[in-house]
Structure 1
Amino acid sequence: MGTKIALYYLLAINTISFLIFTLDKYQAVRHRARISEATLLGLTIIGGSLGGLLGMYICRHKIRKKKFVLGIPLIFVVQLIGGYFVGGRL
Protein backbone atom coordinates (compact mmCIF):
# COMPACT_ATOMS: atom_id res chain seq x y z
CA MET A 1 0.00 0.00 0.00
CA GLY A 2 2.84 2.44 0.83
CA THR A 3 4.47 1.96 -2.55
CA LYS A 4 1.21 2.72 -4.32
CA ILE A 5 0.81 5.96 -2.34
CA ALA A 6 4.42 6.93 -3.10
CA LEU A 7 3.87 6.35 -6.82
CA TYR A 8 0.67 8.43 -6.79
CA TYR A 9 2.53 11.19 -4.96
CA LEU A 10 5.38 11.13 -7.49
CA LEU A 11 2.95 11.20 -10.39
CA ALA A 12 1.09 14.16 -8.88
CA ILE A 13 4.16 16.22 -7.87
CA ASN A 14 5.87 15.67 -11.22
CA THR A 15 2.73 16.66 -13.12
CA ILE A 16 2.43 19.79 -10.98
CA SER A 17 6.12 20.57 -11.43
CA PHE A 18 5.87 20.21 -15.21
CA LEU A 19 2.77 22.42 -15.33
CA ILE A 20 4.36 25.11 -13.14
CA PHE A 21 7.51 25.20 -15.29
CA THR A 22 5.27 25.46 -18.36
CA LEU A 23 3.20 28.24 -16.77
CA ASP A 24 6.34 30.18 -15.85
CA LYS A 25 7.56 29.96 -19.45
CA TYR A 26 4.16 31.15 -20.66
CA GLN A 27 4.30 34.07 -18.22
CA ALA A 28 7.87 34.92 -19.27
CA VAL A 29 7.00 35.07 -22.96
CA ARG A 30 4.08 37.40 -22.20
CA HIS A 31 6.09 39.58 -19.78
CA ARG A 32 3.75 38.84 -16.89
CA ALA A 33 4.31 38.05 -13.23
CA ARG A 34 6.65 35.09 -12.86
CA ILE A 35 6.93 32.13 -10.55
CA SER A 36 9.97 32.42 -8.29
CA GLU A 37 13.03 30.29 -8.89
CA ALA A 38 12.76 29.17 -5.27
CA THR A 39 9.31 27.74 -6.00
CA LEU A 40 10.53 25.97 -9.14
CA LEU A 41 13.53 24.48 -7.34
CA GLY A 42 11.41 23.65 -4.29
CA LEU A 43 9.03 21.60 -6.42
CA THR A 44 11.95 19.60 -7.77
CA ILE A 45 13.37 19.01 -4.30
CA ILE A 46 10.09 17.62 -2.95
CA GLY A 47 9.96 15.01 -5.70
CA GLY A 48 9.13 16.84 -8.92
CA SER A 49 12.56 16.65 -10.49
CA LEU A 50 11.49 14.62 -13.53
CA GLY A 51 8.60 17.01 -14.19
CA GLY A 52 10.99 19.93 -13.80
CA LEU A 53 13.47 18.41 -16.24
CA LEU A 54 10.75 17.74 -18.78
CA GLY A 55 9.37 21.26 -18.34
CA MET A 56 12.82 22.75 -18.79
CA TYR A 57 13.66 20.95 -21.98
CA ILE A 58 10.25 20.63 -23.64
CA CYS A 59 9.50 24.32 -23.07
CA ARG A 60 13.16 25.39 -23.39
CA HIS A 61 12.86 27.21 -20.07
CA LYS A 62 15.66 27.97 -17.60
CA ILE A 63 18.14 26.09 -19.81
CA ARG A 64 20.69 28.92 -19.61
CA LYS A 65 20.75 29.03 -15.82
CA LYS A 66 23.48 26.87 -14.27
CA LYS A 67 21.58 26.24 -11.06
CA PHE A 68 18.79 24.65 -13.12
CA VAL A 69 20.87 22.91 -15.79
CA LEU A 70 23.16 21.35 -13.18
CA GLY A 71 20.95 21.37 -10.10
CA ILE A 72 17.80 19.68 -11.33
CA PRO A 73 19.55 16.69 -12.96
CA LEU A 74 21.62 16.31 -9.78
CA ILE A 75 18.48 16.40 -7.64
CA PHE A 76 16.90 13.81 -9.96
CA VAL A 77 19.87 11.45 -9.63
CA VAL A 78 19.97 11.84 -5.85
CA GLN A 79 16.23 11.10 -5.70
CA LEU A 80 16.65 8.00 -7.88
CA ILE A 81 19.44 6.70 -5.67
CA GLY A 82 17.48 7.53 -2.52
CA GLY A 83 14.38 5.84 -3.90
CA TYR A 84 16.36 2.73 -4.69
CA PHE A 85 17.84 2.45 -1.20
CA VAL A 86 14.70 3.43 0.70
CA GLY A 87 12.02 1.72 -1.31
CA GLY A 88 13.81 -0.97 -3.20
CA ARG A 89 12.92 -1.01 -6.87
CA LEU A 90 10.60 1.90 -7.75
Structure 2
Amino acid sequence: MSFVVIYLLFISVTSFAVFGTDKFLAKNSRARISEATLLVTTFFGGTIGSVLAMFIFNHKIAKRSFLMKFFIVVSVQLLLIYLFYRYGIK
Protein backbone atom coordinates (compact mmCIF):
# COMPACT_ATOMS: atom_id res chain seq x y z
CA MET A 1 0.00 0.00 0.00
CA SER A 2 1.15 3.51 -0.68
CA PHE A 3 1.95 5.99 2.07
CA VAL A 4 -1.13 8.05 1.19
CA VAL A 5 -3.48 5.08 1.57
CA ILE A 6 -1.92 4.06 4.89
CA TYR A 7 -2.11 7.65 6.14
CA LEU A 8 -5.77 8.03 5.13
CA LEU A 9 -6.68 4.73 6.81
CA PHE A 10 -4.85 5.77 9.99
CA ILE A 11 -6.38 9.26 10.17
CA SER A 12 -9.87 7.93 9.37
CA VAL A 13 -9.65 5.34 12.16
CA THR A 14 -8.31 8.03 14.48
CA SER A 15 -11.11 10.43 13.57
CA PHE A 16 -13.71 7.68 14.05
CA ALA A 17 -12.25 6.95 17.50
CA VAL A 18 -12.19 10.64 18.47
CA PHE A 19 -15.86 11.10 17.52
CA GLY A 20 -16.79 7.86 19.31
CA THR A 21 -14.90 8.91 22.43
CA ASP A 22 -16.62 12.30 22.44
CA LYS A 23 -20.02 10.61 22.18
CA PHE A 24 -19.13 8.31 25.09
CA LEU A 25 -17.99 11.29 27.17
CA ALA A 26 -21.18 13.20 26.32
CA LYS A 27 -23.41 10.30 27.37
CA ASN A 28 -21.53 10.01 30.66
CA SER A 29 -21.52 13.75 31.46
CA ARG A 30 -17.73 14.01 31.38
CA ALA A 31 -15.33 16.56 29.93
CA ARG A 32 -15.75 16.64 26.15
CA ILE A 33 -13.41 16.69 23.19
CA SER A 34 -13.54 20.13 21.56
CA GLU A 35 -15.29 20.65 18.26
CA ALA A 36 -12.02 22.10 16.98
CA THR A 37 -10.31 18.74 17.57
CA LEU A 38 -13.12 16.92 15.78
CA LEU A 39 -12.83 19.29 12.83
CA VAL A 40 -9.02 19.12 12.71
CA THR A 41 -9.02 15.32 12.49
CA THR A 42 -11.60 15.64 9.74
CA PHE A 43 -9.61 18.28 7.86
CA PHE A 44 -6.38 16.30 7.86
CA GLY A 45 -7.97 13.38 6.04
CA GLY A 46 -10.36 11.76 8.48
CA THR A 47 -13.52 12.68 6.63
CA ILE A 48 -14.63 9.10 5.97
CA GLY A 49 -14.09 8.11 9.60
CA SER A 50 -15.85 11.26 10.80
CA VAL A 51 -18.92 10.70 8.61
CA LEU A 52 -19.16 7.04 9.61
CA ALA A 53 -18.86 7.94 13.30
CA MET A 54 -21.43 10.71 13.03
CA PHE A 55 -24.01 8.25 11.69
CA ILE A 56 -23.03 5.13 13.66
CA PHE A 57 -22.88 7.00 16.99
CA ASN A 58 -25.64 9.46 16.03
CA HIS A 59 -23.24 12.20 17.08
CA LYS A 60 -23.26 15.87 16.03
CA ILE A 61 -25.77 15.26 13.23
CA ALA A 62 -28.45 17.51 14.75
CA LYS A 63 -26.17 20.38 15.73
CA ARG A 64 -26.45 22.86 12.86
CA SER A 65 -23.52 25.05 13.92
CA PHE A 66 -21.19 22.04 13.89
CA LEU A 67 -22.57 20.76 10.59
CA MET A 68 -21.94 24.14 8.96
CA LYS A 69 -18.31 24.06 10.11
CA PHE A 70 -18.02 20.41 9.07
CA PHE A 71 -19.29 21.12 5.55
CA ILE A 72 -16.92 24.07 5.24
CA VAL A 73 -14.01 21.78 6.18
CA VAL A 74 -15.12 19.17 3.65
CA SER A 75 -15.59 21.85 0.98
CA VAL A 76 -12.07 23.16 1.57
CA GLN A 77 -10.75 19.60 1.31
CA LEU A 78 -12.53 19.06 -1.99
CA LEU A 79 -11.21 22.36 -3.32
CA LEU A 80 -7.65 21.44 -2.31
CA ILE A 81 -7.97 18.01 -3.92
CA TYR A 82 -9.26 19.62 -7.11
CA LEU A 83 -6.44 22.17 -7.18
CA PHE A 84 -3.85 19.48 -6.52
CA TYR A 85 -5.06 17.31 -9.38
CA ARG A 86 -5.69 20.25 -11.70
CA TYR A 87 -2.37 22.02 -11.18
CA GLY A 88 -0.23 19.47 -9.32
CA ILE A 89 2.67 20.30 -7.08
CA LYS A 90 5.68 21.71 -8.89
- Give the alignment's TM-score, normalised by structure 1: 0.77
Distance 2:59 2:30 in 1: 15
Number of equivalent positions? 86
Give the number of the structure whose alpha-carbon radius of gyration is greater: 2
Percent identity over the alignment? 42
**Structure 1 position 61 matched with structure 2 position 49:** no
- CA shift, 1:41, in A, is 0.6
Q: Report if aligned partners of 2:39, 2:73 keep a CA contact under 8 Å in 1.
A: no
- Give the alignment's TM-score, normalised by structure 2: 0.77
What runs of 5+ residues in structure 1 fail to find an aligned partner? none
Structure 2 counterpart of 1:6: 4
Distance 1:75 1:38 in 2: 11
Distance 1:81 1:67 in 2: 21
Structure 2 counterpart of 1:36: 34
What runs of 5+ residues in structure 2 fail to find an aligned partner? none
